[in-house]
A and B are shown apart, each in its own frame.
Chain A
Amino acid sequence: MSLETYISEFSKYIIAAVMILYVINCYTAFLYKNEEKSKGVYARQSVLLFAFHFSSFMVICFETHEVSYLIFYAFQQIALYVAVMLFKSFYPRANRLVINNMCMLLSISFVILTRLEYSKAIKQFAIASGSLVVGLFIPFFIKNLKILKKLKWLYAGVGVTMIGVVMILGQTTYGSKISYTIAGLSFQPAEFVKILFVFFIASALYESTTFIDVLTSGVIAALHVVIQVANKDLGSALIFFIVYICVLFVATRNPIYLILGMASGAGAAFVAFKAFSHVKVRVLAWQDPWSVIDSAGYQITQSLFGITSGGYFGLGLYKGAPNSIPFVEDDFIFSALSEEFGIIFSVCLILICLNCFIAFVKIALKLTDRFYKLSAFGFAVTYIFQVFLTIGGGSKFIPLTGVTLPLVSYGGTSVLTTVLMFTIIEGMYMIREESSEYVDEKARRKMDKNNNRRVAGPTNYDKNGRYNNARYRKTANNYDREYYYNNQNYDDIEYYDQNDYYDNNYRSENGYDDDLEFLHGFTSPIDINLVNELSREDEEYLDNDIDFSKEILYSEEEYEKDQRK
């Protein structure tokens, strides 16, 4: 039928365009400071996600003449829709960018796995659905389990035991010991231990970072790395190492640890290269895979054949030969995607992964609780470094380590772990939201009491009783600040009450305005830390266009009344 020819030919361009638009929306979401304005972005993302998913399965059905794929598609569509909807209603203040990206990556996974091996796609779908159900409750637990930060030794003990058991009992899969089977289900503990590991470092370093703290956490981290090297799972070993170094650097703010860590890592890598033949083989196969094309270089060269064969728009689904790449569903899913969807699509995929990372980092930046901050950052690095290892390894950018592309590659433990990571970060995002709301209310009252003049003068509350700093910021810009601070008797002083200063100070201190503002160097007349806690709410009202000409003056009583309503 000639209709199929047209569909498979044009769908390539449609899918590439959809992906480009999706990525553009991913990054424009960062431009908006408040969730209200980002709603349009999220809605567009959902439509584009649907467009990608639908058109891909259309092509699959036309190419295979299998109607059963349509049913499978319907199930996926329902699962993803329900996931998005439930998250929205369970957690109205969740970060929807992260949820959307998670669903996009999963739908890419379903599409490419259906094309590569249907039975694996079904398994993947089942595991992903289960993970999403579990993930739905994770933010709730994260928010309410205050004990999480106290379980340092539990994380370390369970983590080391889990991967240690693999070392002793595990099955050898293609040269590396990575899994064992429980009740018929193959389980890769190293994947799951990544979560425990991040919680361990965060709980070990959030309170204090004395030399002893660093040393003990370092020994435990090294133990993780060494066990994984012994299991010949170089990918996880590297991830543990890099995550530890990065979190340590953030916790201590001491670049010496970063330099020392990198130096010891380089030394260890050199020793590993000399001592272990399996490390050496991989490095040599990276340097020149073509000379060992029928042995150590076979995987990587087959992967390169896949990546290069697609061109900009890909060969189209079922038009390439991605199954000629060994372990394509696990380690080389990126090559399969490049081959049939093209390089433009692949670059978009990388940009989506990077977008998740940046979103995580932004959450970490705004968290004030150090345990959550370090954990969120640790998960961000775990995620992006794994993406780097698998895509870089499959494209010969770096030596091959054989890790999965989170959410996209086939692998039950990997999908579950990644969904957990994403939802844990969601939970932390909401902690930040709520704690700041709470502090905000307290800060307001305290300031009201400390500062009667503000209530008498132009108020900081708009007519709905909402706290508003924009007025102050605007006027402040028109005056010479130093003049004001040196001449407290200046006539217009009431416009410059201390809140103005706090507002500006707060904004820069908390990393708003993309953390580029710097402090002016003068000290605060009242407790600066109180103001540090000011909420994002301010931000939202700052960005809303409030008509200041209709400003209503409130008395303290009126304000209280409004609040009670």
Chain B
Amino acid sequence: MKKIKENNPKKSNIPILIIMWFFILLFGGMIYYIVDYSINNKQELIGNSYNGRAKILAAQNLRGTIYSKDGDVLVSSSLNQDGKEVRHYEYGPMFSHVIGYATNGRMGIEDQANYYLINSNAPVSTKAKMDAQGLKYPGDSVYSTLDLNLQKAAYDAMGLYKGAIVVSEPSTGKILALVSKPDFDPAEVMYKWNDLINDSKSSVLLNRVTQGKYPPGSTFKIITALEYIKEHPDDYYKYHYNCTGSITRGEDTIRCYHGMVHGSLDFKKAFAKSCNSAFADIGLSVNRNEFGYTLNTLLFNNVLPTSLQTSSSKLIVTDSTLDTDMIQIVIGQGLSNITPLQLNMITSAIANDGILMQPYVIDRVENSAGTVIKQFKPEEYGRLMEENEAQIMRDLMVNVVNEGTATKLKGTSYYSGGKTGSAEFGVSKSGESHAWFTAFAGSENDEDELPDICLTIIIEEAGSGGDYAVPIAKRIFDAYYQNK
């Protein structure tokens, strides 16, 4: 009793209460962490090659089907006579890079949607039926955003050339078609694996749309023009230049394509004719710090905001950038590189009043009974340019079709605008170049509406963009509006 008298029980309980609450809060934090971690990392972790659980699921469920946006079966699985699972790629190499493969590692949608494809949310009654018959559960199906007709048109139009085509919907970011050549048949990856990975010359497995880095050539003038408009919002159209076929700054001389002399040009015409001399002149006049900032806004030096696996391009311009470099950069012939996807994203933002939607290829996941398990919604990345700037850029690009380097697109039932490029590559000035075209198109009858569709094409070692890439764009746009 003596001890108790010396100690007020109330007071001696305070430290106990402090420590009790400390542990309660600590456990609250830990519970939050565990729930958050386990729910948000589920898919990523099941894809890890050290995680054996994917194999268990694959043994239990029949890998799901991949559909086009209209419900055409693109890839499906079945069991052969030995009870082994066989994957059928219905269109062979046509979707090689975008759908990818799921043997010897994974690629494309087969990789991105692997978690859904190997899981089964089939109704219990179906599962019970399958169990009774000793069959595998049907895996969940993936509906892609891909348009079979457009993919076909793009694939055929590319012919035997190497290169890349990406077609997208600017208002949502949905990728409608994606072609990369040379291609491969996903069904044969297993057997030809060693040839495929040892092929360093044509790098077949490289998805040229998302990971191929090319010199942007004249398509870069979109960026130079945008910067000039940003700096001269009210009087950019007053710009005037007299082209003599070349421009010299110090020891560097820039020549127009094939030594062309464009004569007297205003801003619009300089863009339409893709005059190198005029754009070198424009490029030298812009504020280089601001230009560097604009480049960052247009996703240079950034990871592209998309779930696809991409390469990012690096280009830094500051006040300390020399004239000699600047003069090359602004016409797209410097050390800069760009992926077709990034150029497509910039074009999409122009077509969508400056707002960039994140590109994606998976629309939704359904179980075997057609119940939607997961719906992917269009996601806005943000604004790449002001609305009026996007409008001016669209006008400039439509003029390229009307009186510039892309006149092969004139006279169609829809309106279109774009920018060609002929990117010289390597050290030689032999005149060999990659043919670029990045463009949008919309229905003629509602010109107030924003464009419906956007595409970017690069044909390796073909020649000029106007001659080789624009006709391909026309075939794709035609296919789109024929079916619309």
* A interface residue numbers (CB < 8 A to B): 1-6, 9-10, 206-207, 246, 249-250, 253, 293-294, 298, 301-302, 304-305, 307-312, 320-321, 324, 338, 343, 346-347, 350-351, 354, 357-358, 361, 364-365, 368-370, 373, 377, 381, 384-385, 388, 391-392, 395-397, 508-511, 515, 519, 529, 532-533
Contact = CB atoms under 8 A, between A and B. Distances in A.
A6 B24 CA distance: 38
A388 B42 contact: no
B37 to A, nearest CB: 7
Contact of A294 (B34, B50, B51, B132): B50
Given A207-B3, A310-B38, 12 more contacts: A249-B15, A304-B45, A305-B53, A309-B42, A309-B53, A324-B52, A338-B34, A343-B38, A350-B31, A351-B31, A369-B3, A511-B9
A347 B30 CA distance: 10
20 contacts: A5-B127, A9-B124, A10-B124, A250-B19, A304-B37, A304-B41, A305-B50, A308-B41, A311-B39, A321-B56, A361-B20, A365-B17, A381-B23, A395-B30, A397-B30, A509-B9, A511-B9, A511-B10, A519-B10, A529-B1
Given A343-B39, A370-B7, A361 B16 contact: yes
Contact of A515 (B10, B19, B23, B127): B10
Nearest to B46: A309
Contacts of B30: 350, 388, 391-392, 395, 397
Interface in B94-143: 124, 127-129, 131-132
A246 to B, nearest CB: 5
Main secondary structure of the interface of A (DSSP, over half): helix
B45 A253 contact: no
A4 B52 CA distance: 25
A253 B131 contact: no
A302 B132 CA distance: 33
Contact of B35 (A298, A320, A347): A347
Interface in B21-35: 23-24, 26-27, 30-31, 33-35
A529 B41 CA distance: 57
Contacts of A354: 23-24, 27
A308 B124 contact: no
B29 to A, nearest CB: 8
A321 B50 CA distance: 12
B160 interface: no
B4 interface: yes
Interface residues of B, number: 45
Contacts of B124: 5-6, 9-10
Nearest to A527: B5
A253 B38 contact: no
B38 A307 contact: yes
A421 B35 CA distance: 30
A509 B14 CA distance: 12
B482 interface: no
A305 B52 CA distance: 9
B26 A2 contact: no
A139 to B, nearest CB: 22
Given A250-B16, A308-B41, A397 B34 contact: yes
B19 A346 contact: no
Contacts of B127: 5, 9
A4 B134 CA distance: 13
Contact of B38 (A294, A338, A377): A338
A9 B121 CA distance: 11
A-B pairs with lowest CB-CB distance, top 4: A2-B128, A5-B128, A305-B51, A250-B15
Contact of A510 (B7, B10, B23, B27): B10
Nearest to A257: B15
A396 B16 contact: no
Contact of A6 (B34, B35, B52, B128): B128
A305 B48 contact: yes
A3 B53 CA distance: 25
Contacts of A396: 37
Given A2-B128, A250-B12, A302 B50 contact: yes
Nearest to A252: B15
B45 A308 contact: yes
Contacts of A304: 37, 41, 45
B13 interface: yes
B196 to A, nearest CB: 26
B429 interface: no
B367 to A, nearest CB: 14
A451 B10 CA distance: 27
Contacts of A358: 20, 24
Contact of A206 (B3, B17, B31, B45): B3
Contacts of B45: 304-305, 308-309
B8 interface: yes
Interface string B39-77: 101100110101111001000000000000000000000
B13 A346 contact: no
Given A310-B38, A324-B52, A395-B37, A529 B14 contact: no
A298 to B, nearest CB: 8
Contacts of B31: 347, 350-351
B304 to A, nearest CB: 23
A369 B41 CA distance: 49
Interface in B123-168: 124, 127-129, 131-132
A250 to B, nearest CB: 4
Contacts of B46: 305, 308-309
Q: Which of B15, B35, B51 has the most CB of A within 10 A?
A: B15
Contacts of B37: 304, 307-308, 395-396
Nearest to B129: A2
Given A307-B38, A308-B45, A358-B20, A4 B9 contact: no
Given A509-B9, A510-B9, A321 B14 contact: no
A253 B19 contact: no
A203 to B, nearest CB: 13
Contact of B42 (A311, A346, A508, A533): A311
Nearest to B55: A321
Contact of B34 (A346, A361, A373, A510): A346
B34 A347 contact: yes
B9 A532 contact: yes
B11 interface: yes
B34 to A, nearest CB: 5
Q: Which of B13, B17, B124 has the most CB of A within 10 A?
A: B13
A258 to B, nearest CB: 8
B50 A253 contact: no
Nearest to A312: B39
B31 to A, nearest CB: 6
A515 B50 contact: no
Contacts of A321: 52-53, 56
B138 to A, nearest CB: 14
Given A308-B37, A310-B38, A347-B31, A301 B50 contact: yes
A510 B124 CA distance: 56
A309 B9 CA distance: 48
Nearest to B130: A5
Contacts of B19: 246, 249-250, 377, 381
Contact of A395 (B16, B34, B53): B34
Given A253-B11, A321-B53, A532 B4 contact: yes
B49 to A, nearest CB: 9
Contacts of A4: 131
Nearest to B18: A249
A253 B41 contact: no
Nearest to B50: A293
A24 to B, nearest CB: 16
A384 B15 CA distance: 16
Nearest to B24: A354
A529 B4 contact: yes
A311 B16 CA distance: 36
Contacts of B10: 508-511, 515, 519
B23 to A, nearest CB: 5
Given A309-B46, A519-B10, A368 B4 contact: yes
